[in-house]
Amino acid sequence: MKKEIVALLEYWEKEKGIERHYLIESLEDGLLTVYRKKAGLPEHIKIKIDSETGEIKFINAKGEEVSPPNFQWERIAAQTARHVLIQKIKEAEKNTVYNEFKNLEGEIVSGRVERFENENIIVTIGKAEAILPYHHKLPNDHFKIGDGIRCYLLEVRPPSKGNYQLILSRTHPNFVRKLLENEIPEIKEKIVEIKALARFPGDLTKVAVYSKNEKIDPVGTCIGDKANRIKNIVKELRNEKIEIVRWDEDIIKFIENSLSPAQPKEVLINEEKKEAVVIVNDDQLFLAIGKKGQNVRLASKLTGWNIKVFKVSEYKKEENISK
């Protein structure tokens, strides 16, 4: 029995990083509960376990060792030890995961695809398991067991919540934000600032950037020589398109920039309603609106303004802008 306890303690301490004193205390409490219930152990008798030898001692109020109850105590102790350790180890593992990963919440983590549960992906990150839910995968994500994977650590749940504590995402806008920070030193060093970001996962992301240093071109800095910086991110995102635009404190200029690659002819704004009417030449209409309306919708999300696009030949100012 003593050897079994020591072996269990050593295994879980080494393999799972669970502190031995926590397991010892849990085991002592578990044994006390059983003996008081099954063998009528008096309240003043305590149980102490030697962390090195695994020896179980019954101690009275004076601190003296007394004989154990005549209640098949070795067998009961063995059964209780297994049960308590299994329960406490599960609790301790969850606490360990929470403490280890809470500070990484909101960061990119790397792991390995362990298995699939329904359409969700279970990912091993160190000694912990995380879940990448189906709705947080990119449309073009195709992984096999054993594949490396990078994700945004969306949430670290407390031990009491659910089976999986680590929730991952590859569709969250901040996944792109963190990829940009990791790929572009000027962003990490605050030389270039990401002012806004809007995303349709798997299709298109627009990023508005700015630099206080007038000698720095924030757009060119992010794109990189021959677009190499953006290419690396696009590859990670399974060919999701990334558009970098210049942020401007002048909302009209910012709206114009946000509709890139279109080149608006005129922008009319209603500041009270945060609405904008953008007039474009006829040949610019498709560029401004984009495939399935994505370009103008992302521009609206990026700027925080409701943007409507009209071509010159159809627009009538008095019918489309509130004064």
The per-residue pLDDT for range 21-72, each reduced to its tens digit, is: 878 888 888 888 888 887 788 889 998 988 788 888 899 988 899 888 776 6
Where residue 90 falls among pLDDT bands split at 50, 70, 90? Answer: confident
Please, which residues bridge with residue 307 across strands? 276
What span, in angstroms and rounded, lies between the C-alpha atoms of 70 and 65?
A: 15
List the 193-200 sheet strands across, edge first.
193-200, 204-210, 241-246
Beta carbons of 310 and 320 less than 8 angstroms apart = yes
Per the document, the length of the chain is: 323
- CATH number of the domain at 105-169, please? 2.40.50.140
Domain with CATH 2.40.50.140 in the chain: 105-169
- Classify domain 172-247 at the CATH topology level: GMP Synthetase; Chain A, domain 3 (3.30.300)
At residue 47's C-alpha, the angle toward residues 42 and 53, to 5°, is 155
Report the amino acid identity of residue 36.
R
Query: What pLDDT, on the 0 to 100 scale, is given for residue 323?
Result: 46
- Classify domain 258-323 at the CATH topology level: GMP Synthetase; Chain A, domain 3 (3.30.300)
Give buried/exposed letters for 262-288 (b at 16+ CB in 10 A, else e): bebeebbbeeeeebbbbbbeeebbebb
Residue 318 has pLDDT above 50, yes or no: no
The correct answer on CATH 3.40.50.300 for the domain covering 2-102 is no
- Note the pTM of the prediction, 2 decimals: 0.77
